[in-house]
Structure 1
Amino acid sequence: MSWRRKVSMRGLALDVIGALLVLAGIGLVATTARSLLNYRAVAGLHGGEVVDLGTNSPPSGGQHGAMARVVGTPTVVEAPRDPDFNLLVDTPVLVRHVEMFQWREVRVGGRAHYELDWVDHLLDASRFEQPQGHANPTRFPIDGKQFDAGLVRLGGFALGPELLHAIPGTQRVTPDPAALPANLAASFSRYQDYLVTSARPGDPRLGDVRVSWNEVPLQQLTVVGRVDGDRLVPATDAADGRGFVVQVGDVPVLDIFPDLPVPPEFVLSWRILSVLLASLGAFMLLAARRNRHDPLLALGLGALVVGIVASVLWVGDDTLTMFGWLALTLLGLLLTGWRLHRAR
């Protein structure tokens, strides 16, 4: 094989390898961008990308407006109190239930039967098939209510009311008759986990009232919400219509949002590698076509090509990232122009 033919074959090989490396750099930056954009698009349905703050993390600068995942057991700073019964409980949410012993109509085989039972709302006896002899009281002497803690913290974050109400689980509270105000102590006595007005609690009569309370237990939680100063609140602009999640235990983000793709890792490293691949390809193309071995010119061309492609991909999605790639493109253009000018 002649010397000229060997040189020609070597140049062709460098051309092919160089072009493939440039395309590999472009493909790598495009694949990384698509993966990140897809992740952000799905995350946006739930309020945005989630910053994983881990266990009992305090707020810090730069987090405002971001979605955050925090794990820990809530701390009740200002406990809820039922002022009517003077009941104070260390819980995020305290609920008072009130029931009255009333007649209720039960239909069996098309026939109406009547029995006395505890019911948490008024039953209108006038609507019974046989109202005579089954009259019920016309009002409750006291109503059921919900009492929220004044302040509950998870790590260093205060939980908004929507997040408090979403905490799962409930358990019965044992009341303390000794704490009752004087006006209620004369009417109520404790029976099991209730306060009742029955003279004989085991044998209640029509119109007797019983009151009970349920609390939300303190347990390890995983909370995802929007950071608003030192508070976690719902993301009101979330497309899923919820904008927050509260689950029991230490739950990973990908288990909380199963539709979320796996976020790309080592994004910065892949971006740097894409520029280096394109630059290496440009170096080989220059060596094959112009017999030039100028690493700085090749680096400028690699940054210019990859920067242009990446800038276009980020248009309309992330202005900051787009301007970052435009800055790299400009640097690549300046470096290329400087090396070409020096070559002349």
Structure 2
Amino acid sequence: MIRVAAPRAVLLGVAALLAAAFATPVAAQTEPEDFPDPGAPIVDPDFKVATREFGLDRRVEMYQWRIGEDGYERVWHGALIDSSGFDAAHANPRALPLENRRWWAEKPTLDGKPLDPAVLRTLGEWRTLRPGFSRLPANLAASFQPEGEGLGSAENPLEPEIGDLRITWRELVLPPLGGKIVLRDGVWRLAEDPDAPRVNTPPSVSAQPQHAQRVWPFFGGGLVVVIAVMVAARRRRHRHGK
């Protein structure tokens, strides 16, 4: 009587191939595991105000004249008000002595991977920074004093004069980023690109995943081979058993 080992070997081989075909590949990281890191502190080079968040914003306001509904009035304003058409008694300074400026974290990372600057600009939230002024340079300390949430140049903050300045700072913080960013090409980017065109394609109920479409033809072919081998083995055993 001849022993046929081929069916068992073929079955094992086909099973191994099918297992490899259906094996789920290791998924790329889609959710952050740690907290984002802004990197080096951001410092206002003029006033030495610093933050360890993802952005620093300096806002400069000057006390100026403007024309309102009831005539000339004094206001705090973050840009120069052109007074070229005003009378001489209501002239504003010709320029802001200090600029409004904004700085961004240069090398922010998340889980050791770079964080796209677009994430900071799109998802970041500005909040008031109340700094200490222990590092304020001596020349500026002579002109400014703590006022409210920042610094002011008025000798009497309750009675500022035209040309006085008021300076405040904000820092940029990031909200939880889960579901809002993805790791693409080694960089954390926005999950939805605001500049990308949107195409609404309704999902097809009968559509199969691409992976399944590739695997099923192989699976069908492997099954046919298994059945053919089993039938042949039974016929051989039947002939030799007679």
Q: Which residue, 112, 120, 127 being the options, matches 1:156?
A: 112
Select between 161-170 and 176-185 the one with higher mean Cα deviation: 161-170
1:181 to 137, 141, 148: 137
Report % sequence identity.
Answer: 29
Aligned-pair RMSD on alpha carbons? 3.6
SS in 2 for 1:127: coil
Contact 1:73 1:218 in 2 (8 A): no
Alignment correspondent of 1:102: 64
- Paired residues in the alignment total 199
**Gap change, CA 1:125 and 1:179, over 3 Å in 2:** same
| TM-superposed deviation, 1:102 | 0.4
- Residues 269 and 225 (structure 1 numbering): CA distance in 2 closer, same or farther, change over 3 Å? closer
Report whether the alignment pairs 1:124 with 2:124. Answer: no
How far 1:218 sits from its partner (Å)? 3.9
Asked if 1:54 is matched to 2:21, the reply is no
What TM-score results when the alignment is normalised by the length of structure 2? 0.68
Q: State the alpha-carbon separation in 1 of the partners of residues 172 and 108 from structure 2.
A: 12
Whole-Å separation in 2 of the counterparts to 1:155 and 1:295:
53
1:297-344 per-residue CA deviation (whole Å, 9 max, x = no partner) reads xxxxxxxxxxxxxxxxxxxxxxxxxxxxxxxxxxxxxxxxxxxxxxxx
Structure-2 residue corresponding to 1:37: none
Quote how far apart the aligned CAs of 1:279 are.
8.2
Question: Is 1:272 matched with 2:215?
Answer: yes
Alignment match, 1:295: 228
Per the normalisation by structure 1, the TM-score is 0.49
Alpha-carbon separation, structure 2, partners of 1:142 and 1:261? 54
Distance of 1:167 and 1:266 partners within structure 2: 32
How far did 1:194 drift? 1.7
CA–CA separation in structure 1 for the residues paired with 2:60 and 2:194: 35
- Show the 5 A alignment for 1:193-204: 193-204=149-160
**SS of the counterpart of 2:216?**
helix
Higher helix fraction (1 or 2): 1
Query: Are residues 240 and 197 of structure 1, via their aligned partners in 2, closer, same or farther at CA, if it must alter by over 3 Å?
Result: closer
Indicate conservation of the 8 Å contact 1:55/1:155, yes or no: yes
Residue of structure 1 in register with 2:162 after alignment? 206
CA contact (8 A) 1:175 1:190 kept: no
SS of aligned partner of 1:143: coil
**How much does 1:152 deviate?**
1.4
Specify the SS of the correspondent of 2:39: strand
Runs of 5+ consecutive residues of structure 2 not aligned to the other structure = 1-26, 230-242
Q: Which amino acid aligns with 2:195?
A: G
Question: Which of 175, 187, 195 is matched with 1:241 structurally?
Answer: 195
Give the SS at the match of 2:84: helix
Deviation of the 1:203 alpha carbon: 2.0
Amino acid at match of 2:118: E
Deviation (angstroms), 1:118: 0.7
Q: Does structure 2 retain, via aligned residues, the 8 Å contact 1:85–1:179?
A: yes
- TM-superposed CA distance for 1:52, in Å, is 4.9
> Counterparts of 2:202 and 2:38 in 1: how far apart (Å)?
35
Partner-residue secondary structure (3-state), 1:166: helix
Deviation at 1:219, TM superposition (A): 3.2
